[in-house]
Amino acid sequence: MKIFRKIAVPILAILIFLALWEWLVWFNNWPNYKMASPSDLWPAFWRFRWLFLEYGWQTLWRTVAGLGLAVVVGTLIGMVMGFSRTVREGLYPLLVGFNAIPKATVVPVIALIFVGQHDMNTILIAFMISFFPIAVSVSIGLSTLEPEYRDILRSLGASQFIVFWKIALPKTLPEFFGALKVAVTLAFIGTNLMEIVEPHGKGLGHLFDSGKINADYPLMFAVLIALAVLGILLFYIVVALEKVFAGWAERTAH
């Protein structure tokens, strides 16, 4: 029953959203060049089905690659900041300042510096926009570790690595997966920013830009729905990993 509820409720919510969207377009009598309705999207999907498959895969693997890089780098930075107050106080202003810069202004700079390196540019922007919440969550999780646990293990001869592996890492997992859920959506934003801005690119962002140039509104909205589906897919993969590695936190909360 619980599994059925977890599947049925999100599907029902999506169907209600699509029905309200269809009704809104019908009620306002909007043409599809002003606001496409859900019934306009399937013909666009079918007409460009091979491009959706090819570009969707390119967007997905570059997003996952950028997210994976963000996990590695963000975790390492968070570990250093969590274990050293001096480093934490020195890096926080830099990280906050960097994260405050709109990434839409960074995309053209990266595209000009690495001209023609579309895959690397896209992965780099996905990484730059998604590593911050991971680094901060790991840093907070480690910096709030109870010193008693650390002192007991150190008095028993445990190394810093053992302290991290046995105590600190399990404690930070709930915060880490919470940040990873946010980073998933941010990585998709970064990927599509680069795909839209960089000329002669590929990916769903490029397909969206093509629809905009040709005033093909059903295609544009179909791309947005495809991006939403990929984002939901990746989000639930993270949820599944969270249940495997940090399911104890959810059980404790209940």
If you average pLDDT over residues 72-78, what whole number do you get?
A: 90
What is the reported pTM?
0.83
Q: Which two tokens stand for residue 150?
A: 């650390």
pLDDT of 106 > 70? The answer is: yes
Least reliable range by pLDDT among 28-37, 46-55, 130-139: 28-37
Q: What is the pLDDT of residues 138-166, one digit of tens each?
A: 888 777 766 666 677 667 676 666 777 77
**Is CATH 1.10.3720.10 correct for 48-253?**
yes
Q: What is the pLDDT of residues 15-48, one digit of tens each?
A: 899 899 889 988 888 887 778 888 888 888 899 8
pLDDT of 253 > 50? The answer is: no
Residue showing tokens 């729905």: 225
Q: How confident is the model at residue 1 (pLDDT cuts 50, 70, 90)?
A: low
Alpha-carbon separation of residue 161 from 168, 170, 206 (angstroms): 10, 13, 45
Phi-psi category of 187—alpha, beta or left, where left has phi over 0 and alpha has psi -120 to 50? alpha
How far is it, in rounded angstroms, from Cα 161 to Cα 79? Answer: 11
- Which sequence spans correspond to the domains of the chain? 1-31, 48-253
Q: How confident is the model at residue 252 (pLDDT cuts 50, 70, 90)?
A: very low
* pLDDT for residue 111: 78
Residue 28 or residue 3, greater confidence:
28
Q: How many CB atoms lie within 10 A of CB 184?
A: 23
* pLDDT for residue 156: 67
